[in-house]
Structure formats: C-alpha cells, structure tokens
Structure 1
Amino acid sequence: MGTDILVAQMLGTLGCGFAAGGVMTLSILNIPTLILPARQPASVAIPSQQGPATPFPHLTHQWLDTYERGMRTFPVMCLGASVANGYLAWALRDMAAPEAGIIGGSWSGYYATAIATTMGFVVWTMTAMKSTNDRLMAIATRDDAAAAEGTKGMVVGDQEKAKRAKEDAEALELMKTWANLNMFRAMFPLTGAIIGLYGVANMTFN
C-alpha cells in the first residue's frame, strides 16, 4: 500500500473525527455553559426554572457567534475529509473489498459511503436545523437595525417589553433544542470516521 493511500486514509479518518468531536463539544460543553444560571453556594437550593445569568440579548449573540464560527470550521473539515476519501475511492477502484454485499465489492463503494455519511452533516444543517437556526438568528439580530440607526437607547414600550420577554423564553428553549439537534449532527462525521477507521484496520491487518 502506497504512502499516498496511507496519507489519504489519515486525512479522511482524522478529519471526520476532529469534526465530530468539535461539533459534539458545542452541545456537551458550550451551550450548557452559556445558559448556566448564576452561581449559588452549595447550601442554597437552585430553582429548576432559574434562567441563565447572562442577559438574553448577549446570550443569543454568543450563540450566533458560536454558530458562525462552527459554520466556518466544521463544513470545511468535512469537505477536506471527503476529498481525501474521494481520492481513496478513485485510487482503490480496482481493489476488491471485504463484505461485498454491503459496499458493492470494491473500496470505491466503501469510501463513497464514507463521503455520503460525512456530508450528511451539511444536509442535516440545511433541513432539520434550519427553522431553529433561523429563529435564533432573528432573535439574536433583532436590535441590529436600531443600533445601526443610533437608536439603541430608545424607550421600549410595555407591548415591546412583553414581546421581548416572550422571545427570550423562546430563545432559551430553542438553544436547548439546537444543542440536541447539533449532537445528532455530529453523528454524520463520526460515522465517516468509523468507516475510515475500519478501512485502515482492514488494509493494515488483512
């Protein structure tokens, strides 16, 4: 097996693994930290419905920054890993693969499957997560126009206050929903990493 195959396997497998781990981190660590209530002494009982300590306008801004950073990073990692797997599908097109009934009898079908599962990350984002993303973005940017016009400090009426309070409560639930959807999204590149790891092990030890 040539060096090019080994390098491509490494890039494809590790790229998927890093992407999956990074995406999972947002749901496991980032979002729970953002919505954390104010710290209380251990002897004080914290109400189950206590809201985040961070003001909601800044909270949604933090989510938006997290989302934008992720969208600049993880799709690129998945794409890079898929390019490496695409090279493997081409380079190993004439090489017989195990379990022909599952992957079509060649490594091309095997690595094409890895590409499809990995790039499912993007499809999931644009379909299952779209409504949650759009709503959170709308709440996070609701004051952008006023700030641009220099009216950020304007007086807010009771009706507008009630509307904002409703949006704030909605934003908290949306962020929890987003964390769950994002955790599932990580399964796509993780599956690609598992497929890639199996390919490495099969070619190394067989």
Structure 2
Amino acid sequence: MNKFPTGIRVAQAVGLTGAGWLAGNIAGYSLFSVPALITSYHEHNAPLPLIVKQWRDMYSIGKAQNPPIAVITAAAFAYLAWSVRESTTPLAVLAPRNATALYSAAAALTVAIVPWTLAAMAGTNRQLLDRAGAKGWVPTEEGAEETEDLLYKWTFLNAVRGVFPLVGAVVGYLAF
C-alpha cells in the first residue's frame, strides 16, 4: 500500500473510513436507536407521540450529516478512479488492473444512499414526519399499530440503506 503517493493514500483513507463510518452510522439507527424507541413505547409506556418526535429528531440529524459525508466519500473514490485510470496515468501501473471500475463502483454505492432514501423511503419518512409534526396528535389504537408498523418498516429500509456504503467500502478496499 505504500507504493502510492500521499495524496492517493489520503483519498483511500477518506474513502474507506468515510464509507465504513457512514455504514455504521446508518446501521446504528436501525440496530439500536429505533428499536430502543419501540422498547420505550412497549416496556416503559412512553407515549407514541413522543416516540415519533424522537424519531424525527434522530432522522433530522442523520439527514443533515449523512448526505454530505456520502458526497465527500464518493468524491474521494471518484478521485481514486480518475487517478488510476488505465493507460493514461503513471499510477495505473501501481494499481490493480480493475481499480478504476472498483473505485467507480465504490463511489456509486456510497452515494446510492441518496436515491434510495428518495425512492424507497420517502413515503414512510413523510408519514412518520406528519405524525411527529401533528400538534396534539393522539393516535387511536389502529393509528398506534400503523405508526409502529411504519417504524418497523423504516428500520428495515434504513438497514438496507446502510448496506450501500458498507459494500462500497469493501469494493473500495478491493481496489488497493
């Protein structure tokens, strides 16, 4: 790995750690945070309107921090793909033959959290955000079940979302 110039090694570090961090951050919401909220609802009688407001607050934090990290990480992978492109740069001889394709795939996988969120999660997000923003919302029994189902659905969709940067990190590592 020390055969590359410092700039390439920095980009590799940014790409790999960014993708790994992003995967872990996203997975944490699905593995720990939302399940803890649901547990608070069932075992500690936390009111469901409070639970969805807490979910909204976590969602807002993730929405603010994750896309920029995904873009920076994808940019690092894209820079690496450009830097080691075959037959056009001196670095091409140092990199594995398919490094350009692997780094390009890593970039695409990492930033894929954005279209996944917009395409697969938008409806669920909107429904939960509507409940969280409704002043004085008190769910009926049916509404409570539906809201809990939405939280479970969001947890699954978000877990899938976390796989994209994880696979991006693995693919980026294979390009070393």
- 1:35 and 1:109 map into 2 onto residues whose CA distance is 42
Q: Deviations over 1:110-133 (max 9, x none)?
A: 211111111111111111111111
**Aligned mates of 2:72, 2:44 — CA distance in 1:** 37
Counterpart position of 1:171: 147
C-alpha distance in 1 between matches for 2:31 and 2:20: 16
1:126 aligns with 2:129: no
Shift of 1:168: 2.4
Q: Distance in 1 between matches of 2:45 and 2:170?
A: 39
Q: CA deviation at 1:51?
A: 6.6
* 1:184 and 2:176 aligned: no
1:32 to 30, 35, 46: 35
**What's the counterpart of residue 12 of structure 2?**
9
Q: State the partner residue of 1:71.
A: 63
Cα shift at 1:108: 2.4
For residues 110 and 68 of structure 1, the distance between their equivalents in structure 2, rounded to whole angstroms, comes to 32
Contact residue 139 and residue 167 of structure 1 kept, 8 A: no
The residue that corresponds to 2:83 in the other structure is 91
State how many pairs are aligned: 167
Shift, 1:165, TM fit: 3.9
Secondary structure, aligned partner of 1:139: helix
Q: Distance in 2 between matches of 1:54 and 1:80?
A: 38
- Tell me the amino acid that sits aligned with residue 128 of structure 2: L
Gaps of 5+ in 1: 39-49, 99-104, 144-151, 153-159, 201-206
CA distance in 1, matches of 2:157, 2:21: 18
Q: What residue is the counterpart of 1:47 in the other structure?
A: none
- Give the deviation of 1:82 after TM superposition: 0.6
1:109 aligns with 2:87: no
C-alpha separation in 1, matches of 2:76 and 2:50: 39
Give per-residue Cα distances to partners, 1:131-165, cap 9 Å, x unaligned: 1111111111111xxxxxxxx6xxxxxxx96x644
Q: Of the two, which has the highest radius of gyration?
A: 1
CA contact (8 A) 2:98 2:175 kept: no
Alpha-carbon distance in 1 for matches of 2:146, 2:103: 41
Task: Check the 8 A contact 1:35/1:52 in 2, yes or no.
Answer: no
Q: Percent identity?
A: 33
Q: Give the letter for the 2:145 counterpart.
A: A
Contact 1:16 1:189 in 2 (8 A): yes
- Counterparts in 2 of 1:43-54, with a 5 A limit? 50=42, 53-54=45-46
